[in-house]
Structures are given as C-alpha cells and as structure tokens.
Amino acid sequence: MDRLKAMQSFVRVMRAGNFSTAARQLGVSRALISRHIIALEQHLGFPLLSRSTRNVAPTEAAHSYLEFCEGVLREMEREQEFGHYREKTATTVKMVGPKSFGTLKLADAILALAKAEPQLQLSLSLEDFSFRANEFMEKGYDIAICISSINDSALISRRIATLEWLVCAAPDYIRRHGRPNHPQDLKHHACLAHLNLEPNDRLWRFDSDGKRLSVKIDGPFQSNSALLLREATLRGLGIAILPLYAVAEDVAAGRLTPLLRRHRLGSRPLAAVYPRSLARSSKVKTVNSWLMRWFREHDPNTYAD
C-alpha cells in the first residue's frame, strides 16, 4: 500500500462525504478509493468509516486520524518545496570577479554563456574579494574569478587563462622624461603602483638576462584599479605595469608605448576558484569548461605588437 496516496484518499472522502465525489476529485476510480480506506483500516487495526449505500459516516477515531493525515500531507508539500529549491540551486551560479577584468573581458564570456546555456541562472558581481573560504560561505558565491594564486585547502583553483603584463607610458611622458633602458632606470622615474597586485606594491620584479631583478619604485599615484592606473598613465603621470587586457587598444593606437621589452615581467594566472564542497558540482564544471574554452578562443592578451 502507498500510505501517502491512501491518506490522500481518506482526507478527500472525509471532506467530500462520499467515495464517488472523492474519486472524481482525485481522478481515480471509486473502487481504488475503497481499497485505500480498507488498507488504512487494516493497517491501523480499527474502522475509520461506517459505510452506507450513499454516504459514509466517520467513526470517532477518524476525526483524530484526519488531523494526523492532514499534518503529514502538509509536511510532504513542504518537502516538495525544498525539492524545487534544490532544482533552482542546482542551476543558479553566483560568481564574483575583479572590476577591471570583469568589465573588459569576463563580462563577454559570461553573457555568451548565459545565451548558450539558458537553463543556468547566472549572477556576476564585480568587486574586491579576499578569496577566503569563509567569505564564500558568507556571501554565497559559487565561483570567484581571480588574478592571483590561492593557497587555501578549503578552496580549489583552476587556471583558465594566463595574463601578461606590460611596462608602458604615454608618449608625452617619454618626451618629457626620457625612456628607461634598464629596470634600474625606473628609480629615476615617476612610477604608478598597482595596489594589492603583489605583497609589496612598490617592488617591481623582472627577469633580466636570465636573472631575477627587483626594483623599488616611487611615484605620485597608486590605485588597486587597472582601469584607473591606465587613465593615469594615459594622462602622462608616470610609468605603470598594466595588464594587456586593459591596454591592448591603447598600444595598437599609439596612445601608450611599451617599455623595457627585453626585461620580462612574470605572467599571472587567471583562475576560477570555488569551495572544495562544489568540486563535483555539474554547474561549476559547466562554467569552468566554458571559461577555459572561451579564453582559448578569445585570448585576453592579444594586441598589436
């Protein structure tokens, strides 16, 4: 016996007052309703209904059992609501990414994903984010896109692209202050620091002739925004290390000039970071696979060399 279906039949009979109306309301046969009631009575060990040719009369015990059945059925409806919530959660992806990269590059990838996978409900916030496991829990993020290495055992980091960086300045700055030919020359130039990019924001690192070289810089302006540093560089305030994704068009158009090309800057990983608890999540795998494929086909580092 399906106990829940039998309870539904019993409740309908109690409300309708007869088997025929209850059967019609449930879309089943009168005989099935009768079998349900008999099965319940056998299970309980006492009669629920006194039957006549036209109507049924509930026994004293039936009223108490009716309250019990209605309570059980209400709880089952609530459980179904949780099922709908689970289905919604399974397709909702809440993401966060850095403001500059998110605006210039990530947004296109996510909007294309929204069109390609309409069953997903995507949310993308652009903000500064610490990528701590507890912050994922507090803010409810599923995936964070970051330009840094993550060392947290509660998080998984998947590289989806590699970002290249460029030392550059505006032609106007170079005309006024000259062009540095070696990283050590930067000590005599106004340099614009990118806050939070490195543990020491004012220490620029190069690979010079196969050797690691660090140069301490100084200058009139600093920011944690690549877009704001780009604007400061375009206005001739100084020399900056900027991501190619932010300055590709400026370099191609001659608005910014690459410097110290023989002295290589380190690249940085673009990673999708998510809680270890979501390691097997199909929605996370879908987003990660899409982003890896997208940035293979749309290289964020392309510019006119």
Q: Residue 88 has what pLDDT?
A: 47
Say which CATH topology domain 3-89 has: Arc Repressor Mutant, subunit A (1.10.10)
Contact 133, 154 (CB under 8 A): yes
3-89 against 90-162+268-297: fold identical: no
Instruction: Assign domain 90-162+268-297 to a CATH class.
Output: alpha beta
Beta bridge partners of 242: 166
d(Cα 3, Cα 279) in Å, to the nearest integer?
Answer: 38
Q: Where along the chain do its domains lie?
A: 3-89, 90-162+268-297, 165-259
Q: Residue 87 has what pLDDT?
A: 46
Instruction: Assign domain 165-259 to a CATH class.
Output: alpha beta
Q: Residue 255 has what pLDDT?
A: 97
Q: Residue 305 has what pLDDT?
A: 44
d(Cα 305, Cα 158) in Å, to the nearest integer?
Answer: 29
Q: Residue 1 has what pLDDT?
A: 65
Q: Residue 54 has what pLDDT?
A: 64
Q: Residue 79 has what pLDDT?
A: 67
Q: What is the DSSP string of 52-68?
A: -SS-EEE-HHHHHHHHH
- Helix 30-44 / helix 3-16 crossing angle, nearest 10 deg: 110
Residues in the chain: 305
d(Cα 89, Cα 170) in Å, to the nearest integer?
Answer: 48
Which segments within the chain are labelled E, that is strand? 49-51, 56-58, 92-97, 121-126, 143-146, 155-163, 165-169, 191-194, 203-208, 211-216, 222-223, 239-243, 257-259, 268-275
Q: Residue 280 has what pLDDT?
A: 87
Contact 41, 10 (CB under 8 A): no
Per-position pLDDT tens, the chain of length 305: 688 889 999 998 988 888 888 888 888 888 899 899 999 999 888 998 887 656 778 888 888 899 999 888 888 877 665 554 444 456 889 999 999 999 999 999 999 999 999 989 999 999 866 666 667 667 888 999 988 777 777 889 999 999 999 999 999 999 999 999 999 999 999 999 988 766 567 899 998 777 888 999 999 999 988 999 999 999 999 999 999 999 999 999 999 999 999 998 888 899 999 988 888 888 999 999 999 999 999 999 875 44
- Residue 234 tokens, joined: 């375009």
d(Cα 51, Cα 148) in Å, to the nearest integer?
Answer: 76
d(Cα 131, Cα 139) in Å, to the nearest integer?
Answer: 11
